[in-house]
Amino acid sequence: LASKKVKLYFEPDGKRVEANAGEKILDVARIAGIFIESLCGGQGICGKCRVIVEKCAAGAPTEAELKHLSQKELEKKFRLACSCRVHGDCQILIPKESRGGRQRVVVEGVEAPFDLDPAISSLALKLSVPTLQRPMTDMDRVFEALIGNFGLRNVSIDYEVLKKLPDLLRTGGETVTAKIWRNSEIIDVRQGVEDGNYGLAVDIGTTKLGMQLVDLSSGKVLASVGMINPQVVFGEDIMTRASHVIERYETLEELRQAVLKGINELIDDCCRRAGVESSSILEATVVGNTVMHHIFLGICPKYLVMSPFVPAIKNPLNLKARQLGLKVSRSANVHILPVIAGFVGADAVADMLAVRLNRIEELSLLIDVGTNGEIMLGNKDRILAVSCAAGPAFEGAEIKYGMRATSGAIEKIAIEPETFEVSYRTVDNLDPRGICGSGLIDAVAEMFRTGIVDASGRIRDDLKTWRIRKGEEGAEFIVVPKRETKSGIDLSVTQKDIRELQLAKAAMYTGAYVLMKRMGVSAKDLDKVFIAGAFGTYIDKTKALMIGLFPDIALEKVSSVGNTALAGAKAALISKQARREAAEIAEKVDYVELTSDPDFPDEFIKAMALPHQELSRFASVKALLASTRIN
């Protein structure tokens, strides 16, 4: 029976795929390259891989399906692709909400303040001609010109460049251009005078890949591109991906190949847009959290997620593009920025580099909001860093109608305090399909402001509005009624969703609190708060303060700095000084293990309240509530 073949017809892709009877739909789809949203990597946890299975001898609903699908949905033939096994030919409809779509990827960040000073230089060399009397080797003629014209000694040559040297020196004129890396290694030789050098800044996010192609002679960005990290099919968060590797070691290489494929597609994309040959890309910088960093390098991430959570290496690395499989010049140097700890990675180093936390006078709090949030506190004198396991709420996972910030995600919400009428905005202004992280913060802040939830986060059951009702998972607030949604389902924020957000924001706040305590400062001492990360760009800072995501300080001190991970990677790409400072940062930062702080449990519980159990810590929110709350 195991060898019986069945045919699956995927709609709207229109793809026909042969599978073995008994296989799971998600596995079949993955192999066939058909995208079905899955946040948990097929573990039956997230309930996002909903598909409609028609004309099929499918197995009975599993426990996971019974948990995630209502009776009505089951009647409509909804199934979870991760759980449903096919035993006969069938047609599978992937509804819009399970199709992902092109996620908005923010690649812009602040411009980091570094002067143009890249690792690559172009030196035009006029070579002498070898004769029988003076039979100089190809290499010696190049060395002679480097010393004679530029005083450059002790330069080596990349092996791949050496191999092409004999023909190259004889098929052009007497002038060649050597591309020199850090004045120490020839990494390319071109005929004639040729100044064009290009570089790539790469940010490997857990969910998103961001990339910029940069002209290294001007520092100008020629193309900015982004995409979903193809690893998401293995699981939305780093813990899930690492656990796959722990179960089956070969997954490490599959994960590495997945992200590499994505990066190489982005390289193609950049090169097409800018009209640049990929072989002219001679340098790249890469940042990412420590798990992404390890997987990209092919280092097992197992010990990053097991106590005491130590990386294999912190130090910055320089590797050849060919060692990593990047489709740029094979001799290009890839500079991987240093990491700080198992949960504070090269992306956090890049964040700090982008705002130059290591050089500024002002005491600053730098917050990168995410599933694994990182918080840094300090200035030129001292920097502390902490990692906060906020959980997946900010990315829309574990949230009933949560989704990533793709087309149709509700990202802004306002609630009219008297009528509870809701106005909202979606990504790309498409019909609402779900609620993304910034939308959820807005929703809960507005529900709190308008008294729909109380300070403990409980949805009040005494308000007279059709929007509040008892759902399958307890009380819920209907944000968009089914008449306004294409799926014909009410989009709501449930009591459970609010609890998830409370956990997430409490983790972030507690992280900041513990750092301030260790530093011996309080919120009033903070000169600046930077909210970093693509996600941070969309957060309404007033609403975020309202729920107590970060300490209460004057909002004019709070600024969104965008994708600082990529901005930091770009800074390291165009400036050797930035690389030195990144290494300094990694050395300098004191990593604080949040959960081992004695105050953590109490502080965490107090931070669960909206905005906080000690309202005195949030004087400005208290004032705001007093002025607007009417219920």
Site for a second copy, rule CB under 8 A: 130-133, 135-140, 157, 159, 162-163, 165-167, 170, 297-300, 302-303, 307-315, 317, 319, 323, 341-342, 591, 593, 596
If the CB atoms of residues 158 and 203 are measured against a second copy, the closer one turns out to be 158
Query: Least distance (Å) from a second copy to the CB of residue 342?
Result: 7
Q: Which CB sits closer to a second copy, 3 or 171?
A: 171
Half-sphere exposure for 320 (CA within 13 Å, toward CB): 14
Closest CB to a second copy among residues 315, 522 = 315
Q: Rounded to whole angstroms, how far apart are CA atoms 595 and 502?
A: 17
**Which residue, 310 or 555, is less far from a second copy as judged by CB?**
310
Contacting residues for 626 by C-beta, under 8 A, at least 6 apart: none
DSSP states of 500-538 = HHHHHHHHHHHHHHHHHHHHT--GGG--EEEEESHHHHH
Nearest to a second copy of 155, 625 (CB atom)? 155
Residue with Cβ nearer a second copy (263 or 558): 263
User: Residue 403: phi, psi to the nearest 5?
Assistant: -155, 170
Where are the alpha helices (H) located in 48-205, listed in sequence order? 63-68, 71-75, 138-150, 159-171
Q: Element (H or E) spanning 445, and its range? A: helix 437-449
Residue 248 Cβ vs a second copy, minimum distance, rounded to whole Å: 15
**What's the min distance (Å) between Cβ of 99 and a second copy?**
36
Smallest gap from Cβ 206 to a second copy, in A, equals 20
| 221: DSSP letter | E
Spatial contact of 407 and 432, defined as CB atoms under 8 Å apart? no
Nearest distance in Å: CB 314, a second copy? 5
Tell the smallest beta-carbon distance from residue 330 to a second copy (Å).
11
Distance CA 232, CA 249 (A): 18
Residue 497 CB, shortest distance to a second copy, in Å, is 32
Of 158 and 500, the one with the shorter C-beta distance to a second copy is 158
CB 343 to a second copy: min, Å: 10
Which residue's CB is nearer to a second copy, number 184 or number 419?
Answer: 184
Nearest to 482 by CA among 446, 445, 447, 431: 431
- Tell me the DSSP string of 554-598: -GGGEEEEE-HHHHHHHHHHHBHHHHHHHHHHHHHPEEE-GGGST
Q: Which is nearer to a second copy, 259 or 553 (CB)?
A: 259
Inter-residue contact 270 to 187 (CB < 8 Å): no
- The backbone torsions φ and ψ at residue 285, rounded to the nearest 5 degrees and listed phi first, read -120, 145
Q: Which is nearer to a second copy, 33 or 166 (CB)?
A: 166
Q: How far is the CB of 154 from a second copy (least distance, A)?
A: 11
DSSP letters for 42-94? SSSSS---EEEEES--BPPP-HHHHHHS-HHHHHTTEEETTTPBB-S-EEEE-
| Parallel/antiparallel/unpaired status of strands 90-93 and 5-11 | parallel
CB of 504 to a second copy, least distance (A): 23
* DSSP string for 402-434: B--S-TTEEEEEEE-TTT--EEEEEGGGPPP-E
